[in-house]
Each structure stands twice: as C-alpha cells, then as structure tokens.
Structure 1
Amino acid sequence: MTMLIIIKPSTNKNHKKVCDWLLHECNQRQISTEIIYTTGNFHPDCKKITQRAEYYQRAVVVGGDGTLNLAVNALVGLSCSLALLPLGTGNDFSRGFGCSDKEWRTAVFSQGDVKIDVGQINDRYFVNIAGVGFDAHVVKALQTKPARSSLGYSLAGFKYLLGYKGTHITSDFSGREYAYKNLITVFANHRYFGGGLAIAPKARLNSGYLECYAMPARGLLGNLYSFMRLLLRNHHTMTGLEYQRVTVATINTPNLPIEADGELIGVTPASIQVHPRALRFCVPTCTSIQLEIKKVCS
C-alpha cells in the first residue's frame, strides 16, 4: 500500500501524538508515504491533493470536518481511497459512526473500502451536511473566532439564535416548489451537524439520496422551541417541518450564505444533487453502517 497523508497543522499535543503514531505505523509496515500540510487556501490545496493522489492508493486525513471536506473535493471519482483520523473540534461526520479512536486507527490500514454517496451544492462537494439558514449564519459568525469544542459550538449557536431573523426563501425539492420563512434548510448525507446535533437520524451513506429538512422560522420563542426539539432529537414530528428525500433540489433566493461540512463555501442561489457511490471510504468495522453499505456494494 502507498499512502498520501493530509494534515491540518496544529500545536495540539494529541494531534502531534496521532501524527507520530501514523508515521511510525507506516514505517513499521513499510508503507510509502507523502505528507501534504494544508494551508487554509481551499483551491490550491485541493488541486495539489488531486494531483498527488494519482500516485497513491490511499489518502488519510488527519483533522476535522473541514479537512475531510477538502479531501473529499480532491478525491471524488478517483481510485484513491480515503481514510480518516478525526481530530477536529466538531467531528460531526465521524460522530455518525459511533466508533472509538482505536477503531478509526484500524480502518486506516484496512485492506478494504466501500463506496459512499457524496452530495454537491453548486461547485462544492460535501460528504456530511450542507445547509442554508441559521447553520450557515453561525458558521459565518464563528469563522474568525478561535476553535471551539462541540459543546462550545452548540452554546454559541444558542446565543446567535436569540438575534436571528429568518429569511423568506423560495426553493424546489425534487420538482416541487416551496416558499417559506426559513430557519434551517439542510441536505444531509449523514446524521450530525453543528457540533453534535442529530438533524438527520435516518440518513444513510449509501442511500442514493439526501435527507432534506426545511425548518420554518417562527420568531424568537418559536425558534427556541425548534432548537430545543432538535437538541432532544424529536424534531421529526414538528408542525411545519418539511422533510423529504431528494436527489436534486434548488434554493432560488439569492445572497444567502451556504455552509457545507461546517465550512462557509459561498452564497445562494444553489443547486443541490447527490452522486451515488462516488467516493471510496474506509469505514470502521465497529459500525452497522458498514454492513448496510456492504450489502449494496458487494
């Protein structure tokens, strides 16, 4: 096996420990490696990873959801498989598997991989969740702030919710038009976002569609109520919530911020679609998700 290692630089002691472990293991297993350190400049980093991935069988991300999103955009459609050592603040994508650090480490050197779906919003791919509304508002507000823990992110979201006013938007989900005052509209390929909020508990990585949740804005008290229902994971039965599974969608209202995998990636209007089985991913064996995917991919 040959391995391209993608690292987001960090001064965190645990980050260094994991990097040292990975390089030691590669040396012990006589695996040829190359390291790419991300710079924070998305397009140059993405281009470099794509070019170098041609020469490697596996890419390993050492970082969080943002670094994972960068790697996904670089590797979609390529033969190079992708593994993850989750070391971000939110780690929402990895959270959906319910696996330990040890199990993620084992997956890095596994012989097999499975093909998972990838979402696309405009020209940006995402592997977890993309959204327009309050989630993008929080990402935009926090992008220049110091990194936060998952709990810190949720608390910050609660704070920003107090002053958030929804925007009237028009959209099209699978050919059906909608107009509403938006709190959150997300397109989910996996289950969690926002530092641990289970917005899409029914999402599956090999379903061939995205889970769409359009949650209407209801004023301060109504928004707080919606947020609490989301925290308690019983938002599916909320009055006014539009939930459906889509393969294509559009947000027509212009100039609204868009987030994808916790990164601010542009503004609306937006075209959304799913690419079934477009990415080779090393799924830890600890999760039933792998069993579901293997049934489809075998």
Structure 2
Amino acid sequence: MTLLANPAAGGRRSAEIAGRTARRLLAHGVEVDVVAGRDAAETRQRVRECVAAGAGVLAVAGGDGMVHLALQEVAGTSTALAVLPTGSGNDFARVLGIPAKNPDAAADILLGGVRRRIDLGRCATPQGADRPLWFGTVLTSGFDSLVVERTERMRRPRGRMRYAAAVMVELGRLRPLPFTVEADGHTEEFEAALVAVGNTSCYGGGMRVCPHADPADGRLAVTVVSPGTAGRLLRAFPSIYRGTHTTHPLVRTFHAESVRVHTPDMRAYADGEPAGPLPLRAEAVPSAVEVLVPEGAATARG
C-alpha cells in the first residue's frame, strides 16, 4: 500500500494522521510506502511512479484537492483508491461512507474495507481536448464557479462555513447567465444562475447539489438553478445541504451520459479545482476507478 501524505491539508493534523495510520498498517503486517511531494507537480509525479510500479492501493491523506490529483493517475488502472479525509470539505470521502471525524475508523477501512468500482466524470475544453480531466464529485459553472473563486480568496472562516460565507457574498452580486447546454445530443438555451454536473451528489463541504447522482449508473446528474431574486435563493440555500432543493420551482434536474456546458466569460471547476474556461464537455465513464469503502456498503452513493 502507498500512503500519500499532504501536510498542507488540515495543517499538522494531516501529517499526524498519516503517520499514525502508517504505524497502524505496519502493526497489522501491511507493507506501506509513505510518499509526499513539495508541490502539486512533484506530488502527482510521485503518484504516477507508484501506480506505474504496481501499487495495489493508493491511500490519500488529504482533502478533495488531493483526491482530485490522485484520480488523474489512478483512473483506468488496477490501483485502488482509499481516502483518509483530512481536508476541509472531504466530499469524495463522504459519498464513500468514510468518516472524516474518526481517523482510526477511516484507517480501519484500509484494513477491512471492500473494493467497489465506481464511475468518474471526464471533462475537456476545446483548448485541452487532448488532456481530459477526471473528476469524482461535481463539475460547477456559473454562480458555483464564482463562489469557488471567492472561497479561494477568503482566509476566514474555515471549512464549510467559508463556502457558506462566499455564497452570501456572491448572492448580492447575482445575475442571470445565458447558458447553452447540450445533453446527449439535445441542445437547450436558457438563462440560469448555475449548472452543476455531478458524478456524485455533494460538494462545498456537504452541499448535496446533485442528490440524484449515482456513481454506478453510467450517467451524470445535472442540476439547473434558474435565475431568481437573491432572497428566494437565500431561503432555498439550507435545503441544498439536505438535498431537498430539487422540489423548488427554480430547480430542474436530469441525467445525461454526456453534457456540454457554455456561458461566456466563465470558468468551470471540478472537485473544487480549476477545469478550464467554458465551453466544456463532460462525460460519464463507467467503472473508471476502484475504491475502498466500508464493509457492507453496496455502492458508493451520496
């Protein structure tokens, strides 16, 4: 097993959890290689080398950003991905059923978990068609993209509250955007506040924006929020954490195997990481990655 540590995720806590987990695995007779990079490029190179060397399991100690980095290398390979959630959002771990607040229980999944194959999303812009990007959670555009950018500029508060604070700020600047969306060959043009494309259900620290997503059905789940007043969206905001917003009159959901999204002068984000400028095409890739989940979990569904 290879344990990928990210000291930047969760501060000192991440390094401590990685070290404790390594000792726990060694005590149970598991051969462990601990690797880390000084930056994203070096870290990805280390992951690539581990996968090429035939690592059976890559365990990532970090948040959704580290998981996203690892997915670029383990997708489509025989290396299984495990997650020790130490980040602020931990949405990929959440849909796998991995506890973020109990490091020892998360480590036990490395010892006694079961392997499941799940879908991933794969996206590319016209400028980067030869360099597709894998994503495990949600691809965001429109209002969501603006919130992610705002969140990255903020230093306080921490965790999911920082995302919520960014939402409040951007609601005051809300404007309708002209979207063109092509889903499985059918094209629509409409105004919307956001279009979210989910392989799994949640992002932003537990916001279940695509509660109809199932990473084992070979489809992407799309949520469209029509433009409305800031007040109406503010009142609907808490329901996103529960996943009950889909009954709101401003919200429309559907599934598609392939989706192309465009609105002018907008960037998209996948797993909270930059995916490039729109237009962007995303597709579901069935059984693209093997993951470790708690024993008894039939599927990894958010």
Quote the offset at 1:91 in angstroms. 1.1
Question: Which residue in the other structure is 2:129 paired with?
Answer: none
- Alpha-carbon separation, structure 2, partners of 1:57 and 1:185: 37
Asked if structure 2 preserves the Cα contact closer than 8 Å seen for 1:58 and 1:80, the reply is: yes
Note if 1:220 corresponds to 2:230.
Answer: yes
Q: Which moved more, 1:217-226 or 1:176-185?
A: 217-226
Instruction: For residue 293 of structure 2, give the secondary structure of its aligned residue in structure 1.
Output: coil
Question: Which residue in the other structure is 2:107 paired with?
Answer: 105
Q: Which amino acid aligns with 1:27?
A: L
Aligned in 2, Cα 1:255/1:48: closer, same or farther, shift over 3 Å? farther
Question: Which residue in the other structure is 2:298 paired with?
Answer: 291
Asked if structure 2 preserves the Cα contact closer than 8 Å seen for 1:65 and 1:93, the reply is: yes
Quote the offset at 1:260 in angstroms. 0.8
Aligned in 2, Cα 1:138/1:51: closer, same or farther, shift over 3 Å? same
- Alpha-carbon separation, structure 1, partners of 2:6 and 2:299: 31
Q: Which amino acid aligns with 1:45?
A: T
Note if 1:270 corresponds to 2:270.
Answer: no
Note if 1:51 corresponds to 2:49.
Answer: yes
- Alpha-carbon separation, structure 1, partners of 2:216 and 2:242: 26
Asked if structure 1 preserves the Cα contact closer than 8 Å seen for 2:3 and 2:18, the reply is: no
- Alpha-carbon separation, structure 1, partners of 2:164 and 2:31: 40
TM-score by length of 1: 0.87
Asked if structure 1 preserves the Cα contact closer than 8 Å seen for 2:97 and 2:293, the reply is: no
Deviations 1:106-152 (A, max 9, x none): 11123641111000121211111111111111111222433721123
Asked if structure 2 preserves the Cα contact closer than 8 Å seen for 1:154 and 1:195, the reply is: no
C-alpha RMSD of matched pairs (Å): 2.3
Deviations 1:54-103 (A, max 9, x none): 22111000000110011111110111111000011011222234543343
Aligned in 2, Cα 1:189/1:103: closer, same or farther, shift over 3 Å? farther
Aligned in 2, Cα 1:110/1:255: closer, same or farther, shift over 3 Å? farther
TM-score by length of 2: 0.86
Gapped regions of structure 1 (runs ≥ 5): 294-298
Residue from 113, 116, 119 that aligns with 1:114: 116
Structure 1 stretches (4+) deviating beyond 4 angstroms?
A: none
Quote the offset at 1:189 in angstroms. 1.5
Aligned in 2, Cα 1:285/1:154: closer, same or farther, shift over 3 Å? farther
Asked if structure 1 preserves the Cα contact closer than 8 Å seen for 2:203 and 2:209, the reply is: yes
Q: Which amino acid aligns with 2:285?
A: H
Q: Which amino acid aligns with 1:158?
A: M
Gapped regions of structure 2 (runs ≥ 5): 125-131
Report how many residues are paired.
Answer: 288
Aligned in 2, Cα 1:17/1:9: closer, same or farther, shift over 3 Å? closer
Aligned in 2, Cα 1:78/1:270: closer, same or farther, shift over 3 Å? same
Instruction: For residue 298 of structure 2, give the secondary structure of its aligned residue in structure 1.
Output: helix
Asked if structure 2 preserves the Cα contact closer than 8 Å seen for 1:118 and 1:278, the reply is: yes
- Alpha-carbon separation, structure 1, partners of 2:242 and 2:78: 40
Instruction: For residue 77 of structure 1, give the secondary structure of its aligned residue in structure 2.
Output: coil
Question: Which residue in the other structure is 2:135 paired with?
Answer: 126
- Alpha-carbon separation, structure 2, partners of 1:223 and 1:98: 29
